[in-house]
Structure 1
Amino acid sequence: MKYLLETPVRGILGTEKFRTAIHWRNGILITDEPEKLGGRDLGPDPYSLLLSSLVSCTLATLKMYIELKGLDIPEITVEANMFYRIENEGTVIRIERKIEMHHVSDSEIRQRLIGVAENCPISKILKGNIHILTEFKNKKSDR
């Protein structure tokens, strides 16, 4: 199996309730829960991180396409939010993504850019069939 990341993302939660240090290949990101949930709001919560992944991937994918096609679009804004909705199959999570670009009046180009956004890798992962394998890993000192 070939992993997408050379080094896994690693999180460490100590004594500060929900304050988590997320170690990634090039640094540390602090996450937390909002104060209303008992955290101190020192960093993004898990939902914000998930949506941030979608937003940043959408922006990068759109930027690559815009540069490849030589389009004159100097700035792109993407926002995302999520909500629960009751449907026939039960409760479903819906993610709403909005893309804003000035000076793009051609509806054909707009539709193509929406298609590009729909095909960003994180969109594909979120829409796909995901299996999460969980196991306990013994610390070296526990052996």
Structure 2
Amino acid sequence: MSETENLHQFAVEARSESSTRTAVEVRDFEFVVDEPEPLGGTDEGPNPVEYLLGSWAGCLNVVANLVARERDITIDSLDISIEGDLDPRGFKGASDDVRAGYQEVRVEIDAETDADDEELREWLEAVEQRCPVGDNLQHETPTEIELVDE
């Protein structure tokens, strides 16, 4: 089986409802992306970079539990905290020397398990390696943005 036969495609549809509010549809779900009031939004939903952190946390949770099951590790509780530092001058165009995205992102995982220290170290290594969102954040992914001319 070729690599392309194994690919699963994921997609969202989004519509701008204002200069800061975006309505997003994915499968049978809808959610709102907005900015907080100090950034000109109406604060009706998390902003894009907050969703990015939340996506990583959700992905880490799924992969952490998957890897734990594979290794017969029982997870009694799992808390994930993620924070990132972003300089808004980048996306506002105020400085060409500042990247638009996060300058740094930090993840803390608090896991209560029945694993010993070595098993936990190996588990965390596998989780980090196999998390798709983390992989996209930590490695360059080819992207393409196309303007549709109707």
Q: What is the TM-score with the length of structure 1 in the denominator?
A: 0.80
Which piece of structure 1 moves more, 33-42 or 117-126?
117-126
Is the Cα contact below 8 Å between 2:74 and 2:115 reproduced in 1?
Answer: no
1:106 pairs with 2:110: no
1:111 and 1:126 map into 2 onto residues whose CA distance is 21
**2:24 aligns with one of 6, 22, 25:** 22
Query: What is the identity, as a one-letter code, of the residue corresponding to 1:31?
Result: V
1:118 pairs with 2:145: no
Per the alignment, residue 57 of structure 1 pairs with 59
Provide structure 1 residue ranges, at least 5 long, that are not aligned to the other structure: none
Is the Cα contact below 8 Å between 2:77 and 2:113 reproduced in 1?
Answer: no
Give the share of equivalent positions with the same residue, in percent.
22
Query: What is the identity, as a one-letter code, of the residue corresponding to 2:120?
Result: R
Once the two structures are TM-superposed, the CA of residue 123 in structure 1 deviates from its matched residue by 1.3
Which piece of structure 1 moves more, 17-26 or 100-109?
100-109
Provide structure 2 residue ranges, at least 5 long, that are not aligned to the other structure: 88-97
1:113 and 1:106 map into 2 onto residues whose CA distance is 10
Per the alignment, residue 9 of structure 2 pairs with 5
SS at match of 2:76: coil
Once the two structures are TM-superposed, the CA of residue 48 in structure 1 deviates from its matched residue by 0.7
Count of aligned pairs between the two proteins: 133
Write out per-residue CA displacement over residues 6-42 of structure 1, whole angstroms, 9 at most, x where no aligned residue: 5x2111012x441210111122111100111011111
1:117 and 1:48 map into 2 onto residues whose CA distance is 21
SS at match of 2:14: strand
**1:137 aligns with one of 135, 142, 148:** 148
1:27 and 1:103 map into 2 onto residues whose CA distance is 33
Once the two structures are TM-superposed, the CA of residue 50 in structure 1 deviates from its matched residue by 0.8
Once the two structures are TM-superposed, the CA of residue 79 in structure 1 deviates from its matched residue by 1.4
Per the alignment, residue 66 of structure 1 pairs with 68
Per the alignment, residue 104 of structure 2 pairs with 94
Per the alignment, residue 43 of structure 1 pairs with 45
Once the two structures are TM-superposed, the CA of residue 105 in structure 1 deviates from its matched residue by 6.6
1:34 and 1:104 map into 2 onto residues whose CA distance is 41
The 3 A distance-change label for structure 1 pair 101 and 30 is same
Q: CA RMSD in A?
A: 2.4
SS at match of 1:124: helix
